[in-house]
Amino acid sequence: MITNSVTYLNNTIKQAAKAAGVKYVDIENAFGDHWLCGNGDRHVNPLLLNEMIVSRIPDLRLPWVEFQESFHPNAKGHADIARAFRKELGGVNPADYKICKNDATTCPDNSATKDNIPAPPYFNVANEQEDIKFTYYKLSNGTATKVQEKYIEIKTSRRPYKPWKKVYVKIYSEPRDLGEIEADKNGEINGSVALPEDLPAGYHTLVVSGEAPDGKKQELYQTILIKGPNPEDIDENGTPDKLQPCGAFAQAANKDEDLDGIDDACDPEVTDPILYTARNGKSSLGEDEDRIYLFRNTRAANLTGVTNDYVDKSKNQNNTDALVGHTLSEETRGLAFNKLVVMKEADGDIKKGTPIILAKDINEKCYALKPENYLSPALKPGSKDYKLRGLTKLNTLAKGVGCEE
């Protein structure tokens, strides 16, 4: 059903694009056998959101969805998508690709309507349980804590059931009968059921079954979270939640391929490791806005070959704003970059960004930032004749290369 639903959604988007007169690139099969349940190595990463990583990315929480699941391409998956684009567009840059004649921006197709969207097999088969209506419904507040809350309140409105009829309450994954509640004169429910003391902590599905006003069977369901009574270990696995890489209820991968400090199992984006980042100085942080600040990812010592910082404190005793010399080879030893500033930060403060690979001096001469000596004390801050003019950015760390464009 899920696979057919994705196909149907893609067909709908394709038809909408055709109706709007814009290009649609089909990447549904771009991953080949490297999707989440395929036989090859995975080119996508599963994500469990809300309780899992909401502490790191608060904006991802959607309060009306109790348990979100999503998937995100990793570096290999992004390469798959890029290849699909290249094939579909014949190698033309998407910004330059033309779909319409006479250089028109859009060319709508009036024949593309919702009535002729191809439907996958699942949606052409009659529902064998069409006499039962299944509806996601907010039956409770969505959470309960064992021991502290022996009962869970269940309420409905909008007359979902026949008046004075009994409705039956169950909780899954392993079916457990929680009891029955009688609908009132309006067909609404307002009651409570006891929670089993041995109910394991975690996500469960609460199901209320009964007879709708039209006489058909009706089931309302809601995903709820049952927490353990210990606030330090709400998933009851014996390990404090704060010590689990992805928090409570999430299985960590115990891998951090991109060295960003987030376990890959709950990392919304797994990329190639970023070794160096840079930005302009910020006066709000007490920095010099005329300087460029270079950061080294201290988690990547094995890749950069740098395990210690060499800081020149001749002009500034504050490590967070210290000028640092850089050299690549003997022929550059007489040069100085008075705008190359390195900040030493704690691991948790290293931010993602664009790696800095090549630097240009005021004379437009280029120098590579070689890992093993990018903090060499051989060059001292000095002449403004060689102040940093611009930056050339690459995707991988280059050693000893030129940057003629």
* Total number of residues shown for the chain: 405
In a shared domain, residues 91 and 151 = no
Asked whether residue 268 is assigned to any structural domain, the reply reads no
- Model confidence band, residue 181 (pLDDT cutoffs 50, 70, 90): very high
Question: Does residue 304 form part of some domain?
Answer: yes
Are 79 and 46 part of one and the same domain? yes
Q: Are 308 and 353 in the same domain?
A: yes
Quote the domain boundaries for residue 191: 133-227
DSSP sequence for 260-296: SSS-GGG-S---S---EEEEE--GGGT--TTSEEEEE
Which of the listed residues 123, 148, 164 is the one where a domain comes to its end? 123
What CATH number corresponds to the domain at position 167? 2.60.40.730
Strands (E), 122-233: 132-136, 143-145, 151-155, 166-172, 176-182, 190-194, 202-211, 217-227
Summarize the chain as % helix, strand, coil (round to 5): 20, 20, 60
Considering only CA atoms, which of 85, 68, 73 is closest in space to residue 42? 73
Whether 163 is in a domain gets the answer yes
117 & 155 share domain = no
d(CA 295, CA 220): 53
Mean of pLDDT values over 82-92 = 85
The answer to which of 59-73, 86-100, 117-131, 350-364 has the lowest mean pLDDT is 350-364
pTM over 0.75: no
Query: pLDDT band at residue 68, thresholds of 50, 70 and 90?
Result: very low
Angle at 35 between CA 32 and CA 38, to 5 degrees: 85
Please give the pLDDT value at position 301.
63
Q: Is the pLDDT of residue 227 over 60?
A: yes
Give CA–CA dist 281/290, Å, rounded.
Answer: 7
What are 18-48's pLDDT values in tens digits? 898 888 888 888 887 776 655 556 677 655 4
Q: Are residues 90 and 160 in the same domain?
A: no
Q: How far is CA 151 from the centre of its chain?
A: 35
Neighbours of 94 (CB within 10 A): 11
The yes-or-no verdict on residue 308 having pLDDT over 60 is no
Residues 139 and 90 in one domain: no
Is 71:264 a contact under the CB 8 Å cutoff? Answer: no
Please say whether the beta carbons of 181 and 167 come within 8 A: yes
pLDDT band for 70, please (50, 70, 90 cuts).
Answer: low
E strand or H helix at 6, and its extent? helix 2-20
pLDDT at 238: 92
Q: Tell me, yes or no, whether 265 lies in a domain.
A: no
236 is a domain residue: no
Residues with Cβ within 8 Å of 335's Cβ and at least 6 positions away in sequence, in order, are: 327, 361, 367, 379, 386
Number of domains in the chain: 3
Write down which residue in 197, 227, 257 finishes a domain: 227
Mean pLDDT of the chain: 67
Considering the domain architecture, whether residues 152 and 80 belong to the same structural domain is answered as no
Determine the Cα–Cα distance for residues 388 and 392; give it in Å rounded to an integer: 11
Domain boundary among 71, 103, 123: 123
Judgement on whether residues 110 and 29 belong to the same structural domain of the protein: yes
Q: Both 288 and 364 in a single domain? A: yes
Closest CA to 303 of 232, 241, 252, 374: 374
pLDDT of residue 403: 34
- CB within 8 Å of 361: residues ≥ 6 apart: 335, 337, 367, 386, 387, 388, 389
Residue, of 314 and 260, whose pLDDT is higher: 260
What is the spatial distance between Cα 384 and Cα 377, in angstroms, rounded to a whole number? 18
Q: How many angstroms separate the CA atoms of 279 and 353, rounded?
A: 9
In degrees, rounded to 5, the angle at the alpha carbon of residue 146 between the alpha carbons of residues 144 and 148 is 90
Structure tokens at 381: 């801050």
Clarify whether residues 139 and 115 are in a common domain: no
Tens-digit pLDDT profile for residues 358-377: 444 444 444 444 333 333 32
Question: Does 109 lie in the same domain as 213?
Answer: no
Q: Which of 332, 343, 329, 367 is nearest to 276 (CA)?
A: 343
Q: How many helices (H) and strands (E) does the chain have?
A: 3, 17
Residue 139 lies in a domain: yes
pLDDT at 114 over 50: yes
Q: Are residues 35 and 113 in the same domain?
A: yes
In a domain, 261, yes or no: no
360 found inside a domain: yes
Residue 218 predicted with pLDDT over 50: yes
